[in-house]
Chain A
């Protein structure tokens, strides 16, 4: 957990200065969205929350319709 926090802070440190320097608001917003998504996923996983896997969900959908070997 603590390790994760450390990693995400490091990522912020590496990526944020060039972004701020470019002064492109749109890019900063998009980047934050991706960053927060990654953050949320990682912390949810580390906390033990079961995240459904898209491949399994699609697979179940396909099986229920009958398209599978």
Chain B
């Protein structure tokens, strides 16, 4: 049973993926504080390490054509176990939504509107997201991916050029002088927090307009743009900030503060903050949408739009109770999250793929049916 009936084109998908990744360029402090000036190396390692994970996602989609993530779970694990695993995914998506909502609230509150209470900031964002999800659905949300991606790329390149006068290439040296586990830790963080969050696209990979279009090239295209932006931002921040980079909670924003066009046209980081907030909003809306359709799918709801508002309230309250304070958030992001997220983002899809393949192999070894373990609903044409 399919929840989302809308179809999107491959290009929309590509730009949504890149937009999603670009939204994470603000929150580089998680891994920058560990790998410091070699952070760009960690980004490259994570890019390479993510390729197999991406392959797992794509294979999963391709071996069960036309099905979204939850239907695959049902098909591979059976109805009950499938539902449980889908529920695990749903709670993961819920956590991600609340985390990003909290991050956005933190960003806006600390830099721009320091006296506005969190509730107001988060509430306004949620109202807009809820409206977006309720009225538009998939097509609506992905419409602006292109504009945001282009604007964000432009801003990154513009600020890189503007701060070129303050860059010192000596800040990159010496390279490779940190213990190996730093690189592993840092690459792990980059892998789980920006990159493997792409698992949230799994539920709608099958909603492309033209199913014959190669899913791979669009997803890789989006990942390439997003990954390149992250690399460029890390390089720029290392060149400008040097060894002070690990001091700051938001190094990318500090670099933006250093941009000054002339003596008068300086201190204008608020303009860049606009696009950062917009990107974060895109990410939150997307995650919210995915959470809602996951919940609808798990609970066997026919129309996800009824669930938008209650789930929204749960997300809002959850974002308050997630972490008691900033320090717990940072500690968790550095120590727990890279390993905990791996379960949902890498382990479960890989196991699903494996079990699916084994089942297929077993079934094709017994051509005349009678397989008692054959799952119930794996053959319905779900269009």
Cβ 8 A contact of A51, one of B321, B334, B339: B321
B188 → chain A closest CB, angstroms: 8
Say yes or no for B322: interface residue by CB 8 A criterion: yes
Collect the chain B residues with CB atoms within 8 Å of residue A14's CB: 309
Collect the chain A residues with CB atoms within 8 Å of residue B339's CB: 62, 67-69
Residue of A nearest to B329 (CB): A55
Is chain B's interface secondary structure helix, strand, loop, or mixed overall? helix
Say yes or no for B320: interface residue by CB 8 A criterion: yes
Residue total for A at the interface (Cβ-Cβ under 8 A): 34
Given the complex of chains A and B, what is the CA–CA distance between A30 and B304 in angstroms? 12
Cβ 8 A contact of A31, one of B185, B310, B320, B324: B310
Given the complex of chains A and B, what is the CA–CA distance between A55 and B323 in angstroms? 8
Contact A58 B306 (CB under 8 A): no
Residue of B nearest to A7 (CB): B313
Say yes or no for B336: interface residue by CB 8 A criterion: yes
17 further A-B pairs in the complex, CB-CB below 8 A; given A31-B301, A58-B336: A8-B313, A11-B310, A14-B309, A18-B303, A30-B299, A30-B300, A31-B307, A31-B310, A38-B314, A38-B317, A39-B313, A45-B317, A55-B340, A62-B340, A68-B336, A69-B185, A69-B338
Residues of A whose CB lies within 8 Å of any CB of B are 7-8, 11, 14-15, 18-19, 22, 24, 26-27, 30-31, 34-35, 37-39, 41-42, 45, 51-56, 58-59, 62-63, 67-69
Q: Show 22 residue pairs from A and B whose CB-CB distance is below 8 angstroms, ordered by the A residue.
A: A11-B309, A15-B309, A15-B310, A18-B303, A22-B302, A26-B300, A30-B299, A31-B301, A34-B295, A45-B317, A52-B321, A53-B324, A54-B91, A55-B322, A55-B323, A55-B340, A56-B328, A56-B332, A59-B336, A63-B336, A68-B336, A69-B335
Residues of B whose CB lies within 8 Å of any CB of A are 91, 95, 185, 295, 299-303, 306-307, 309-311, 313-314, 316-318, 320-324, 328, 332, 334-336, 338-340
